[in-house]
Amino acid sequence: MRKTIVYALLTFCSLLFIAPLFWALTTAIKDPTELYLFPPKWLPSVWKFGNFAEAWTVQPFNVFLKNTVIVTVMATLGQLVSCALVAYGFARFEFKGRNFLFLVVLSTMMIPWEVTMIPQYMEFNYLGWINTLKPLIVPAWFGSAYFIFLLRQFILTLPRELDEAATIDGASKMGIFLRIIVPLMGPALILVGVFQMMSCWNDYLGPLIFLNDQSKYTLTLGLAQFKGMFGVDMQSIMAITCLISILPLAVFFFAQRYIVGGIAGTGIKG
């Protein structure tokens, strides 16, 4: 009896979460004549998969895709390299001011982006980086607090005996990092990579502020731009919505194990 209630509730709630996604997907493959009906039709009478290709040409989405891929790849790469190095520094060395600096790392997580956004804009403007992809890439090469914290916690769980054995064998600190620590950091690096990839791909505010020219736009900007356009049918908007969600959804399915464990870990430690 209790099990039945639990199942009923789980099913009902999961419908609430899935229904809007499903609705977006079926809208995307509808003929425009079937969009505005009441009661609505859940499934289109003809599945028009051509809608996706058609919607893609409404705006230069190829350009947006290229920009998004550049930003996502470069920023993710930067985040992985920098955060791993910094995390290793905090996890494996004793140095003056270490604890204080690490506290600073953690406290930067509290700063709302609104506070630093204006000076950052002026800074990038001064450097001539506005309307280039640089403001979305370069800062990622200098680490981010949350990922540094995550990786440091992970390195702390690795046995120090490995480092010591390598030291005796004459390995340098960099050698230990590259040959021993990094290969063992696999799961943690995947987690950081996945999080960074998703947040880059999905980011809207960064591109919105730092990019002006359509040739520099990312996918989210392109999608948001639909809002102010006339004569764009709902099925095109939903088609693009679905298309740009493919990557995060796919990444989630492949990395679910790491993501679920990773998020769960933050809560406990936090």
Partner 1 sequence: MAKLDPAQAGTYTASLKPARKRGRGRVTPYLFVFPWLFGFLAFTLGPLIFSLVISFFDWPIVGQVKFVGFGNYIEMFTQDSLFWKSFGVTVKFAALFVPLNIVVALGLAMLLNQNVRGSAFFRTAFYLPSVISGVALAMIWAWVYSGEYGILNYFLSLVGIDGPDWLNDTRWSLVAMVIASLWGQGAMMLIFLAGLKGIPKDLYESASIDGAGRLRQFRSITIPMLSPTILFNLITSIIAAFQQLTLALVLTGGGPLKSTYFYAMYIYENAFKYFKMGYSAANAWFMFLIVLSLSFLVFKSSAAWVYYEGEIKSGAKAKSGARRRSA
Q: Give the burial string for 203-224 (b: 16+ CB within 10 Å, else e).
A: beebbebbbeeeebbbbbbbbe
CB of 85 to partner 1, least distance (A): 5
73 vs 260, which CB is nearer to partner 1? 260
Footprint (CB under 8 A) of partner 1, residues 92-151 = 92-95, 98, 101, 104-105, 108, 110-123, 139, 141-143, 148
Residues 6+ apart with CB under 8 A from 1: none
Q: Tell me the window of 46-54, 57-65, 185-193, 200-208 that interacts with partner 1 (CB under 8 A).
A: 200-208
| Secondary structure E strands in the chain | none
Q: How many secondary structure helices (H) and strands (E) does the chain include?
A: 14, 0
Told to check if 237 binds partner 1 by CB under 8 A, we report: yes
Beta-carbon contacts of 137 under 8 Å, excluding residues fewer than 6 positions away, are 70, 71, 74, 75, 78
Q: What is the largest CA-CA distance in the chain?
A: 76
Is 231 one of the binding residues for partner 1 (CB under 8 A)?
no
Site for partner 1 in 36-75 (CB under 8 A): 36-40
To partner 1, the closest distance from the beta carbon of 16 in angstroms equals 8
Cα 211 versus chain centre, distance:
19
For partner 1 (CB under 8 A), the number of binding residues is 95
Interior CA angle at 255 toward 249 and 259, to 5°? 95
Alpha carbons within 13 A on the beta-carbon side of 239 = 24
Q: Which stretch binds partner 1 (CB under 8 A): 57-65, 69-77, 161-169, 183-191?
A: 161-169
Q: State the nearest-atom distance from the C-beta of 181 to partner 1, in Å.
A: 11
Distance from C-alpha of 127 to C-alpha of 198, rounded to nearest angstrom: 27
Per CB under 8 A, the segment of 46-54, 58-66, 182-190, 261-269 that binds partner 1 is 261-269
Nearest to 87 by CA among 77, 73, 102, 69: 102
Q: Of 61, 154, 201, 217, which one interacts with partner 1 (CB under 8 A)?
A: 201
Residues between 172 and 191 with contacts to partner 1, criterion CB under 8 A = 173, 177
Site for partner 1 in 238-257 (CB under 8 A): 238, 241, 244-245, 248-249, 251-252, 256
Cβ 210 to partner 1, closest distance in Å? Answer: 10
Which of 227, 241, 239, 193 lies closest to 77, judged by CA? 193
Q: Which stretch binds partner 1 (CB under 8 A): 45-53, 56-64, 184-192, 223-231?
A: 223-231
Q: Which range touches partner 1 (CB under 8 A), out of 45-53, 56-64, 83-91, 182-190?
A: 83-91
Give the C-alpha separation, 227 to 237, whole Å.
9
Given 17, 100, 126, 230, the residue binding partner 1 (CB under 8 A) = 17
